Amino acid sequence: MNERSESNKLLWLGAILVLALTFVAHVRGLQGQFVEWDDTTHITRNAAIRALTPENLCLMFAHPIAKLYCPLTWLSFAVDYQIWGRAPFGYHLTNLLLHLANTLLVLVLVREILRDRFQYATAAALLTAAIFGVHPLRVESVAWATERKDVLFAFFYLCALITYWRWLGSHKRRTYWACFGLFVASALSKSTAVTFPFVLLIIDHWLAKRKAWEEKVPFFAVSLVITTITLMTQAGGTGETVAPPALVPLWARAGLAGYCSLFYVRKFFWPFHLSAVYPSFEEMSWNPLTSFGYLTALAAVTALVIAVRRRWPVLLPAWFFYLVTLSPTIGLIPVGIHVVADRFSYVPLIGLALPLSMAVVWAIFSLPNTASRFVMSLAAAAVLLALAFLTDQRGAVWSDTGTLFRNALQENPNCLPAHINLTVWHTTRKEFDEAINQGKQAVDLAPNGIPGRKDLAYALINKGDRREAISVLRPLAQHDVQDPDVWRALAECFEALGDTNNAKLARESQRRCEGKL
């Protein structure tokens, strides 16, 4: 009893240290501002979160907002809005608290799984949780207010996994339905949770040594519904975000699965040159041979994992956990402009951190004497501190729109979203010359792009140069672009210059785009 009590004290002490290190690594994010990158549509200009009325609740749960169906995320923003209004501190605080909770849940989950399988389960669980908590790849999910989706869905996802693991030992009906309810909550926070029933199959096959497909039917049914809603939402309406085969060919998609899967492995072990916006598929200039190479590399890594499965039994299920939880974002159905993004690795990272932690802990305790074990432990602690330092530095990048996208331009000077968002940011700050400079670079990169020309025109209008704004928007008008904002801006410019005929034509085009003609 005394030995067990001592072990529990060490566990609690370790947990406190892990949470403290995680808090220190991310605390800079509490000073961050909202960024001109979805924070406006999701929070500051999102009318649905401004009051917890039946009408708004119905809107959250019955309709997609900003082309996303994540009602519990919107509800969490609404609760924050009632407390904090538009002050960013509160939203960042909620994200950080959820991340701390998730770090603790990772500790609990890994310890439960390894308790009877690995002699040093507690140490491995603590190290896994520490890596999860302080790795620089976490920053985007924690410091970006919009990514409440990540930390909230992961909270319910991890709770559901722990509940399922305990159900395997008790088979109590209420525990099963508690797991199901938590999974539904996770899926209503972010659609990425649809991978959950596949993770249960991994647990059943490799850890519980059982086959029970029929009990997963309700889970798969929810996954199917959420997947269908997500694809319909993303593919429908204006601003379709599902990339067609003409943009991302079918031959490239298999290669993207390899590229994306190995990208995060590389960033996991070498977390430098992170960016809010990595190069798009068009910028990568792929050919079929490139795609085949990445697919072959993924197959080779998987084959290696299978080959060593007897020596390291946990590696294979951990690797499949990583691939399965990452699968919605590996490019088989490309959505949006992002081939890869740090936030996509939030839950999958556990599949990399767990076997690495077990290997490090095993190596430490395998050393012949106390002195060498102490030195090795100090080295592991130094690595964690280095990761925490890098996370703190990465948090500074997320301070505001300017720091975020200037960093993106340092990594990729041709980053179109960075130029566009900096144009908007400098315009709101009345720094019109720099806004115009960024806008012109955006137009140079994408001459036919609507956002770049539109934002450059707004900067010129705010500066008072309406003739130049008309020149910027004219190519869009010549292509009869179906964007009411473009025609509205043209109409206002013509009216200000006294050109009533063109102003009338622009207003008619505006009303046609708005469906009022």
Spell out the per-residue pLDDT of the chain, length 517, in tens: 455 666 678 899 999 999 999 999 999 999 999 998 899 999 999 999 999 999 999 999 998 888 889 999 999 999 999 999 999 999 999 999 999 999 999 999 999 999 988 999 999 999 999 999 999 999 999 999 999 999 999 999 999 999 999 999 999 999 999 999 999 999 999 999 999 999 999 999 999 999 989 999 999 999 999 999 988 887 765 554 666 665 777 888 889 999 999 999 999 999 999 999 999 888 888 889 999 999 999 999 999 999 999 999 999 999 999 999 999 998 767 666 688 999 999 999 999 999 999 999 999 999 989 999 999 999 999 999 999 999 999 999 999 999 999 999 999 999 999 999 999 999 999 999 999 999 999 999 999 999 999 999 999 999 999 999 999 999 999 988 999 999 999 999 999 999 999 999 999 999 999 887 6
The pLDDT of residue 238 is 53
Helices (H) and strands (E) in the chain, counts: 24, 0
Q: Cα separation of 154 and 347, whole Å?
A: 7
Start-end of H helices in 207-314: 217-235, 250-269, 281-284, 288-307
427-437 exposure pattern, b = at least 16 Cβ within 10 A, e = fewer: beeebbebbbb
Quote the pTM value.
0.94
- Assess contact for 308 and 315: CB atoms under 8 A: yes
- Assess contact for 134 and 268: CB atoms under 8 A: no
Q: Cα separation of 259 and 264, whole Å?
A: 9
Token pair for residue 61? 């749960």
The segment(s) of the chain belonging to CATH 1.25.40.10 are 414-513
State how far the alpha carbon of 434 is from the alpha carbons of 110, 175, 441, 455, in Å. Answer: 50, 58, 11, 12
Q: Cα separation of 119 and 215, whole Å?
A: 32
Q: How many CB atoms lie within 10 A of CB 105?
A: 20
Q: Cα separation of 44 and 50, whole Å?
A: 9
Q: Cα separation of 264 and 92, whole Å?
A: 25
202-232 exposure pattern, b = at least 16 Cβ within 10 A, e = fewer: bbbebbeeeeeeeebeebbebbeebeeebee
**In 3D, which of 320, 408, 357, 348 has the Cα closest to residue 150?**
348
DSSP output for 396-437: HHTTSHHHHHHHHHHH-TT-HHHHHHHHHHHHHTT-HHHHHH
The pLDDT of residue 116 is 87
- Assess contact for 407 and 342: CB atoms under 8 A: no
| Neighbouring-strand partners of residue 68 | 65
CATH code at 414-513: 1.25.40.10
Q: Cα separation of 93 and 90, whole Å?
A: 5
- Assess contact for 173 and 180: CB atoms under 8 A: no
Q: Cα separation of 89 and 484, whole Å?
A: 34
The pLDDT of residue 232 is 86
The pLDDT of residue 65 is 85
